[in-house]
Amino acid sequence: MKSLQRSLCALLLLALSISLALAQESTVIRGAGSGVVLPLLQQIVVASGTEAALELATTGTAAGFTALCDGTADLAGATRIISPAEEAACDAAGVTFQEVLLGHHILAVIANPADDFQTCLAVDVLNTIFTPAAAATVNNWNQVSESNPDLALSLAIPTADSLTYAQLDDLIRGDGLRSDALSGTPADIIAAVSSTPGTLGVVDLAAAQAALGAVKLVNLNTSAAGCTTPDAAAAENGTYNAALPLYVYLNPATTAAVQPVLAYLVSGAADVEVANAGFSPVSPGAQLNNSRVASGEVVGRLFSRSAVEFIIPGTLTGEVRVAGSGSLFDYFKQVSDGLIEGRQELTFTYRMDGDAGGVRRLCNGEADVIITTTPLSAEQNALCTANNITPISFTMGTQAAVLVGNAADEFTQCLTREQLITVWGAAATGTDTWSALGTDFAETPLTLFAAGEGSELNDILLDQPGVPVVPIRSDIEFNADALYRAAATSNVEGALALLSWAEYQSVLANNQTRLHLVSVDNGSGCVAPSLETIADGSYALTQTTTLVASQAALASINVQSYLWSLYTDSNYASLAARGLIGTDFSRLSDLRVSLQDSFDAAALAARQAAEAAAEATPDPAAEATPAATAEAGS
């Protein structure tokens, strides 16, 4: 059994029955559940000033949910979300619930401020450092990585009976942690880390934040999102996985007396009790959601909606028809190939005949899903409506083509779309100086760097609305390494390099000098690329890819499985490699919630259509009137 489980069991035995009478009021709030959550809830109830009596029984999270669903508890404290099976038990008993997030217990790794090499640790590195076997093999930071300095490695960890130890042990493979580490209180750990370079410590985030300056936080790479700073928002969106949520589930039918407690909680005043107990308060976004629960606006799952994932069946039979633009086609094909693997009776038909062709197929009922880079026009929507097709859209994200020029070239500070097409288009092959663009340009030799002839960035650069995409010129130097393209441009006057926005960020991180960003004039003045100008569309060299499905197709388990697969955590690394803006890891859960809502709406529409069709079908028995029978007999 992992230490997290052991720790929770210890807390269960330690606080087997907590009971608090706040007043002689006859109203009683009955609570059960986690021994981590209930003591905090008790402090919040005391601070709220409610006149109700509170009776708490520390039974563990699972038993707390059982008590909530069988009606023997009005609320349940939990360190995890309610499972589908437990939710079904509540449904069967006619018990509804409300979900409130109290806070988090967030694990924080701290280092000495002098340790410049300690900025982010991946889970694999944590395992290398903290596993029990490492005591004999890893005692210097250059044994962790050759790029690290020759510096003695020492560790300071919480005592084995603490919740922080349990979380760290749960993160590390195997059972237990290395035995040569200093074990102590958060104050002991902070003192050891602050006084000795090369020492790595683990405490709760609240303690780490109170000691910032004496120690520094180390980011962790615990998910597909990469290196992430620990905080409540990152814990809530899944980008920082070394965190334990603290939930309370309420039965709104029996807990009117807890309303003053809820009001106190959602006001933000309870953050004091949360912090004093060594936990981290929720983010402002979660605080707003708690307010929605307290007002009665939301019943059922709220914080955990995205965590209860759609289940892709092991067997799928039939065809999914995909049409439209070739944008991101390699990603869509990769995902469908993965879905087919092990499901040989499922097939995908791709007809990539452009945006207009895809919309035509969708509105004619010839495609289930289309890929498009332009919004549907009023005329196209009217065609779909005429054929009783309801299009539902899902954004995949935006790609941006970015140009960098040599810092010495004033004439490439801003270029028009027409000039870019003149310089980069196939017709320019053989043009070797910038003076070809006119007298305002120097006789400087023209040198261009791009990723490859098949790169989507080329199409984004050379795309003109309503005109077939111009092929890129063939005498460009192609190189897949963005850092090489940028470095070459910085060393060659008259050079331009084509990058994605993500590649440009890597160039900045590499501290490449002697470059400038090229602004683009699309008829309304020069606009430099930025997250803001890309998002609002004022920067011209962008392409937003959108999936559009018919609502009828969204009721199909095959289409549902395909769309869900496109937004899974496991496929995120491949999606992120496409350099999309607006589809970061933290948004995946929200996108999946949107998908589930669309699936539910499609299923409802299908049922309503079937019921309407049944009502419109004449009843043969109703038609057999006496007059009709007599006529038939005659």
Q: What is the CATH number of the domain that holds 497?
A: 3.40.190.10
What are the residues whose beta carbons fall under 8 Å from the beta carbon of 45, sequence distance 6 or more?
20, 22, 29, 54, 261
Query: At 526, is the secondary structure helix, strand, or coil?
Result: strand
Whole-angstrom Cα distance, residue 86 to residue 247? 15
Cβ-contact 217, 110 below 8 angstroms: yes
pLDDT confidence of residue 13: 39
pLDDT confidence of residue 466: 67
Q: Are residues 41 and 56 in the same domain?
A: yes
Q: Are residues 113 and 58 in the same domain?
A: no
pLDDT (average), residues 571-594: 87
Q: Are residues 565 and 482 in the same domain?
A: no
Burial environment of residue 51 by CB neighbours within 10 A (0 to 12, 13 to 18, 19 or more) = exposed
pLDDT (average), residues 44-72: 92
pLDDT confidence of residue 628: 46
Q: In this structure, is residue 197 part of a structural domain?
A: yes
pLDDT confidence of residue 618: 66
Q: In this structure, is residue 222 part of a structural domain?
A: yes
Judged against a pLDDT cut of 90, whether residue 477 lies above it is answered with yes
Q: In this structure, is residue 302 part of a structural domain?
A: no
Q: Give how many domains the chain has, as a whole number.
A: 4
State both tokens at 275.
Answer: 């912090």
Domain of residue 21 covers 3-103+245-294
Q: In this structure, is residue 271 part of a structural domain?
A: yes
Judged against a pLDDT cut of 80, whether residue 469 lies above it is answered with no
Q: Are residues 98 and 111 in the same domain?
A: no
pLDDT band of residue 622 (cuts 50, 70, 90) is low
pLDDT confidence of residue 621: 54
Q: Are residues 469 and 414 in the same domain?
A: yes
Q: Are residues 457 and 587 in the same domain?
A: no
Q: Are residues 350 and 457 in the same domain?
A: no
Q: Are residues 410 and 495 in the same domain?
A: yes
Q: In this structure, is residue 627 part of a structural domain?
A: no
pLDDT confidence of residue 285: 92
pTM listed for this prediction: 0.76
What are the residues whose beta carbons fall under 8 Å from the beta carbon of 258, sequence distance 6 or more?
29, 50, 52, 74, 75, 250
Q: In this structure, is residue 534 part of a structural domain?
A: yes
Q: Average per-residue pLDDT in the chain? A: 89
Cβ-contact 325, 371 below 8 angstroms: yes
Q: In this structure, is residue 308 part of a structural domain?
A: no
Q: In this structure, is residue 463 part of a structural domain?
A: yes
pLDDT band of residue 255 (cuts 50, 70, 90) is low
Last residue of a domain, one of 195, 215, 237: 237
| Core vs surface per residue 598-628: b (16+ CB within 10 A) or e | bbeebeeeeeeeeeeeeeeeeeeeeeeeeee
